[in-house]
Amino acid sequence: MNIPVIVMVVSFLVLLVMDVPIGICIGLATLWAVSAVGGVSAINIVAPRLATGIDSFALLAIPFFILMGLLLGKGGIARRLIDFAEALVGRFTGGLAFVNTLGCMLVGAVSGSSIAAVTSIGGTMIPEMNRKGYDKNFNIALTVCAATTGLLIPPSNVMIVYALVTGTVSVAALFLAGIVPGILVGLFLMGASAVIAKKRGYGTGKIIPVKETIKRFFGALPGLLLILIVMGGILSGIFTPTEAASIAVVYAFILAVLVYKEVKWKDLPGILLQCGVTTSVVMLLIGASTGMSWFMAAQNVPELISGAILSISSNKIAILLMINIMLLFVGTFLDMTPAILIFTPIFLPIIDKLGINLVHFGIIIIANLCVGLCTPPVGTVLFVGVGVGHGKIHEVFKSLLPLFAVMIIALLIITYIPEVSLTLPRLFGF
């Protein structure tokens, strides 16, 4: 390793531990690293990329999906999805845990945000489960883990970021590839809940009559249709992902404001502002990471790392395991978006060399980093979940461990059986 790279890594870690905003950590670390190389003016490397790094029509889908999620969350669609989930899986032993997981999958999918899932599901399901005698820490842990499945089930903003970094992968293919792995992780979490519920003797939920189930299905249908509209629009080639996202905004607006009337006209400026703030947080990360990736490419960091990995082993299975372990470690202290932005380009040469499909690798990276979202010291979803459920991180942590175990088993299946991800995209000709 040369000195500028060491400057970058050390300054980034020091700034990160100090709680400097991560976008600024990345920017300053790059600034000092480029200065350490000398020769070029570092500010002229970092500054332009903050603007040009986000100058992309494909990225425009991100604010739209955020806006769609906000409208749906405040518009009462989340509640209707939970009601439908209750009718489907509430009747079994540990039924509320299933309702929680399925609810998180549905809300996470239509809102494209695990934070939205954990707040809306956690806010209603955790107190409900507490009342029915489920252990509070288990309830929080389950909500947190289940909420991340929404990042694999489309539409998903992190997939748009991944597609941007690789430059060649189609967003539509990624969206399709995420469906089965997302459902798989959800099913694994339900399996773990079933075992825990049986052991601890949690009761069954109420049985919803068929008539009521049908009613609730139609209540949830408008929300579920949104996924179909987005996917159908993109796959049929009528819309680009960004255009489909803008249609999804209109659809969510009509539902929330005109049909359900749960979002009032006067709430709209606040929702638009919140969308702008969330967008700018993501965009600062993207812009700053573009500079850092440029620097690492200029210093041949990706080649050095792939060389180092290949010198340990040239076995595909072993290398994928190593990459997964590295990413699990990275995920504990980096949020998903910066982790994807920084580490995808680092692993690309080796992925290329091994002949791994880039769509498949995208799903591996996202499924892996989902675990990181639930682990301290940086676990955005965990923090929100603990806040919503009024718990304490060190108390919840023990309940998280068995769920991590099943998530990692699911991750290994996703990693070593490419068909889990790739069958659907292949069916649609990708």
Partner 1 sequence: MSVKFFFKSLSEWRNKILGYFVILIVSIMVVTVLWQVFTRLVLKVPAVWTEETSTYMLMWCGVVGAAYAYGQKAHIGMEYFACKLNDRHRRMLEVVIAFLVGFFAFRVMFLGGMNFVRNAFVNHQTSPTMGIPTGYLYLCLPISAFFIITYSIEFIFKDLLFLVGKGEK
The stretch among 157-165, 172-180, 200-208, 272-280 that binds partner 1 (CB under 8 A) is 272-280
Kindly state whether residue 40 participates in binding partner 1, applying the rule CB under 8 A. no
| Size of site (CB under 8 A) for partner 1 | 61
* Nearest CB to partner 1, comparing residues 44 and 168: 44
Kindly state whether residue 14 participates in binding partner 1, applying the rule CB under 8 A. no
Kindly state whether residue 112 participates in binding partner 1, applying the rule CB under 8 A. no
Structure tokens at 163: 């597609």
The stretch among 189-197, 282-290, 309-317, 384-392 that binds partner 1 (CB under 8 A) is 282-290
Backbone angles phi, psi at 131, to 5 degrees: -60, -35
Kindly state whether residue 59 participates in binding partner 1, applying the rule CB under 8 A. yes
276 and 268 in contact (C-beta within 8 Å)?
A: no
- The 362-401 site mask, x for binding partner 1 (CB under 8 A), equals --------------xxx-x--x------------------
CA–CA dist 12, 25 (Å, integer): 6
* Nearest CB to partner 1, comparing residues 151 and 422: 151
Nearest approach, Cβ of 35 to partner 1 (angstroms)?
Answer: 10
CA–CA dist 192, 235 (Å, integer): 34
Q: How far apart are the first and last CA of the chain?
A: 39
Kindly state whether residue 251 participates in binding partner 1, applying the rule CB under 8 A. no
The stretch among 21-29, 164-172, 185-193, 345-353 that binds partner 1 (CB under 8 A) is 21-29
Kindly state whether residue 23 participates in binding partner 1, applying the rule CB under 8 A. yes
Kindly state whether residue 9 participates in binding partner 1, applying the rule CB under 8 A. no
* Nearest CB to partner 1, comparing residues 15 and 184: 15
Kindly state whether residue 267 participates in binding partner 1, applying the rule CB under 8 A. no
Q: Which residues bind partner 1 (CB under 8 A)?
A: 15-25, 27-28, 31, 41, 43-44, 46-48, 50-51, 54-57, 59-60, 63-64, 67, 238-239, 242-243, 246-247, 249-250, 269, 272-273, 275-284, 286-287, 333, 335, 376-378, 380, 383
